[in-house]
Amino acid sequence: MTTPANLQKRIQRVEMCDIVKRFPGVLANNKVCIEVNAGEVLALLGENGAGKSTLMRQLYGLYRPDGGQILIDGQPQVFHSPADAIAAGIGMIHQHFMLVPTLTVAQNVALGLKSSREPQLDLERVSKRIQELAQAYGLKVDPEAYVWQLSVGEQQRVEIIKALYRGASIIILDEPTAVLTPQEVNDLFVTLKRMTQEGHGLVFISHKLHEVMAISDRIAVLRDGQMIGSRPAKGVTRDDLVKMMVGREVKPLAPQPLQTGPVCLGISGLRAMGDRGTEALRGVDLEIHASEIVGVAGVSGNGQRELAQCLAGLRKNTAGTIQLNGQDITQASLLERMAAGQSYIPEERMRDGAIREFSVQENLFLRDHAAPQYTNGIFLNFARMAARTREVIQQYSIKAPGGDTPIKNLSGGNIQKLIMARELSRQPKALIAAQPTRGVDIGATEYIHQRLLEQRANGTAILLISEDLDEIRTLSDRIAVMYEGQIIGIVARGEATVEQIGLMMAGIPLQETRAKASA
């Protein structure tokens, strides 16, 4: 069986017309219209918060539109829940996978479906069907494996199989490449091509321009809840798309090489345990010089988080040393590290970097509230603090109504700018920046990147940990690739291709790739 039987009643065309969706205080979708046809990939491009996911969640029945219409092959539809959308032939692969880790692949696929032997499960039959689908679409997966045992790429394949199993003919993919290695992205694209050949219509949500340009037939751009326009993917340029997304031109950064200084942050033989009780860092050696950005690339979960935490002093190492300007800070407390000139921008900004309910001003002074210039004896000097807050809001162009606004009302990008302002204000000698632009829009990302480069020019040693390979490649003077708790290789700017770095992220050292290439 090459063509799945459940594709018999294939949807030819889905239209969403004049969709309006309001959330308290936000107009998430303002009269948005899109259409998807069988056999094509429509990319939905836009910044975080532009309303892409909201729009698609309405097509999948998770939200009800406040206005507008959904038409399938010309017939108006009302979806009260995902069950209705699934029944109509819509599938969705969510950004955060909707899988139950403690269940097997087959159990995850069978969840919520009638069994042929109701009330008993018939997992053998489900497994057989999964294998048929896997065969037809090139989605290799073991139906008996538990989901927690699977890699992220495999989990995504399970998600796609889940949608196909339910006979979805229009499939929405919400930021499907965010968690994948470059190689896994290629595999995914092969699968997506196969799906369009089989007559599926796909909606590909993303904010990564080159991916969108590589995979889609048409590109629709959303900004601030409005449809800015839709273009055929052929002939469109990166600059056109950025302009549509951001509303102005954004020039790509091209940092100039700098004369680097002496070693500032020296890490040697660093070992540490992870949260699951396994060794997360297995001997990390890395040196970061003054006026240098060292990027740490790697698939998430290979020790980057633990490395950042060890350096920040939030996680105890079991072996190895950390030196800051020749001073051993391995055993130093957080306060001592700060005093020695180290700053830290944490990965989870809302959990470790700021307090949601606190105001801009309070968050800005979380650390330096006891500094002599902001105190009168044991009392806080609010006038000084307010003045400094106004200064920072101006200087870092933080979009906030005022210093007393709780930061939960700010966008991710503005919160991150605030944290940057706090961490950079004391001119750190070393800066650990973990995922500084994750979930941050292009405008703010551009700003944060410029700040990091400025800091580098000022002589700071910067360790940049990021899952965004483009970011790493743009900013880093040297790229260290982490794999299973070790640095598998360090390459200078421009020394390795994306593919080579991708292979390093998958655990294949550069020498091996090169040897193969020359053989």
Partner 1 sequence: MNELFSLAVITGILTSAIRLATPYLFAAVGEAFAQSSGVVNLGVDGIMLVGAFVAFYVTLQTGNLWLAVLAAALVGLLMGLLMSLISVTLKAEQGISGIGLYMFGLGLSSLLFKLLVGTVQTIDGFKVIKIPLLGDIPMIGEIFFQHSLPVYAAFLLVPVAWWFLEKTTWGLKIKAVGQNPAAADSLGVSVDKVRYFSVCLGSVLAGLAGASLSTALVNLFQENLTAGLGFIAVALVYFGGWKPAGILVGALLFSTVNAFQLWMQVLGVNISSDVAVMLPYLLTIAALVFATNRVRQPAALNKPFERGEN
Nearer to partner 1, 78 or 111 (CB): 111
The residue within the footprint of partner 1, chosen from 59, 86, 267, 310 (CB under 8 A), is: 86
Sequence-distant (≥ 6) Cβ neighbours of residue 430 within 8 angstroms = 264, 265, 288, 324, 341, 342, 343, 460, 461, 462, 463
Sequence-distant (≥ 6) Cβ neighbours of residue 366 within 8 angstroms = 354, 355, 358, 422
Regarding 149 and contact with partner 1 (CB under 8 A), the answer is: no
Regarding 171 and contact with partner 1 (CB under 8 A), the answer is: no
Using the contact rule CB under 8 A, the part of the chain among 102-110, 296-304, 386-394, 452-460 near partner 1 is 102-110
List phi, psi (to 5°) of 341. 105, 30
The residue within the footprint of partner 1, chosen from 17, 33, 121, 263 (CB under 8 A), is: 121
Nearer to partner 1, 32 or 90 (CB): 90
The residue within the footprint of partner 1, chosen from 52, 94, 305, 473 (CB under 8 A), is: 94
Distance CA 324, CA 252 (A): 32
Distance CA 9, CA 277 (A): 50
For the purposes of burial, counting CB atoms within 10 Å of the CB of 309, is it exposed (0-12), middle (13-18) or buried (19 or more)? Answer: buried
Residue 3: how many CB atoms within 10 A of its CB?
Answer: 10
Nearer to partner 1, 103 or 355 (CB): 103
Regarding 278 and contact with partner 1 (CB under 8 A), the answer is: no
Distance CA 130, CA 144 (A): 10
The residue within the footprint of partner 1, chosen from 111, 370, 380, 387 (CB under 8 A), is: 111
Name which of 88, 75, 78, 107 is nearest 19 in CA terms. 78
Nearer to partner 1, 33 or 103 (CB): 103
Nearer to partner 1, 83 or 339 (CB): 83
Regarding 99 and contact with partner 1 (CB under 8 A), the answer is: yes
Spell out, one character per residue from 3 to 42, where the chain touches partner 1: x when CB under 8 A holds, - when not. ----------------------------------------
Least spacing, CB of residue 83 vs partner 1, in Å: 3
Distance CA 247, CA 112 (A): 43
Regarding 118 and contact with partner 1 (CB under 8 A), the answer is: yes
Using the contact rule CB under 8 A, the part of the chain among 117-125, 306-314, 334-342, 441-449 near partner 1 is 117-125
Distance CA 132, CA 141 (A): 11
Least spacing, CB of residue 46 vs partner 1, in Å: 16
Distance CA 519, CA 85 (A): 52
User: Is the bond leading into 401 cis (omega within 30 degrees of zero)?
Assistant: no
Name which of 355, 364, 276, 269 is nearest 310 in CA terms. 269
Regarding 112 and contact with partner 1 (CB under 8 A), the answer is: yes
Regarding 113 and contact with partner 1 (CB under 8 A), the answer is: yes
Nearer to partner 1, 113 or 340 (CB): 113
Regarding 408 and contact with partner 1 (CB under 8 A), the answer is: no
Calculate ∠ Cα 427-430-436, nearest 5°: 90
Sheet-wide strand order for 41-45: 90-93, 170-174, 201-206, 41-45, 218-223, 226-232
Regarding 92 and contact with partner 1 (CB under 8 A), the answer is: yes
Least spacing, CB of residue 400 vs partner 1, in Å: 23
Regarding 81 and contact with partner 1 (CB under 8 A), the answer is: yes
Instruction: Please report the DSSP string for 391-451 in residue order.
Output: HHHHHTT---S-TTSBGGGS-HHHHHHHHHHHHHTT--SEEEEESTTTT--HHHHHHHHHH
Regarding 119 and contact with partner 1 (CB under 8 A), the answer is: yes
Least spacing, CB of residue 172 vs partner 1, in Å: 11
Regarding 178 and contact with partner 1 (CB under 8 A), the answer is: no
Regarding 63 and contact with partner 1 (CB under 8 A), the answer is: yes
Q: How many residues make up the chain in this entry?
A: 519
Nearer to partner 1, 155 or 361 (CB): 155
* Interface ranges with partner 1 (CB under 8 A): 53, 57, 60, 62-63, 81-84, 86, 92, 94, 96-103, 107-108, 110-115, 118-121, 162, 166
